[in-house]
Amino acid sequence: MSDKKSVAILIDAENFSYCHILELLKKCSELGDVKIIRAYGDFSTTNLKSWLAVANAYAIRPVQQNAYRKGKSAADMALIVDAMDIYYGSRPDVFCIASSDSDYAPLCVNLREKGIEIHGFGYGNAQEAFRSSCKSFCVMDGEAPEPVAPVECNGAKPIDELLDIIDQAVLNGGGSLLISAVGMVLRKECLNFSPKDYGHSKLFKLLEAYPDRYLVFDDGRAKRVSLW
Which CATH number is correct for 6-139, 1.50.10.20, 3.60.40.10, 3.40.50.1010, 3.40.50.300? 3.40.50.1010
Helix axes 75-89, 105-113, angle to 10 degrees: 10
| 132 phi, psi to nearest 5 deg | -75, -15
List where CATH 3.40.50.1010 sits in the chain. Answer: 6-139
Q: How far is CA 217 from the centre of its chain?
A: 26
Q: Which of 156, 37, 50 is closest to 97 using CA atoms?
A: 37
pLDDT of residue 153: 37
Question: Coil, strand or helix: which one is 130?
Answer: helix
Kindly report whether the global pTM for this prediction surpasses the value 0.95. Answer: no
Fold that domain 159-227 belongs to in CATH: Arc Repressor Mutant, subunit A (1.10.10)
pLDDT of residue 73: 59
Rounded CA-CA distance 154/157 in Å is: 9
Please compute the mean of the pLDDT values over residues 157-175 and round it to a whole number.
Answer: 86
> In the chain, what percentage of residues exceed pLDDT 90?
44
pLDDT of residue 66: 78
pLDDT, tens only, 78-135: 999 999 999 999 899 999 999 988 889 999 999 999 999 999 999 888 889 999 999 9
Q: Which of 115, 119, 144, 124 is closest to 134 using CA atoms?
A: 119
List where CATH 1.10.10.10 sits in the chain. Answer: 159-227
Q: Are 16 and 122 in contact (CB under 8 A)?
A: yes
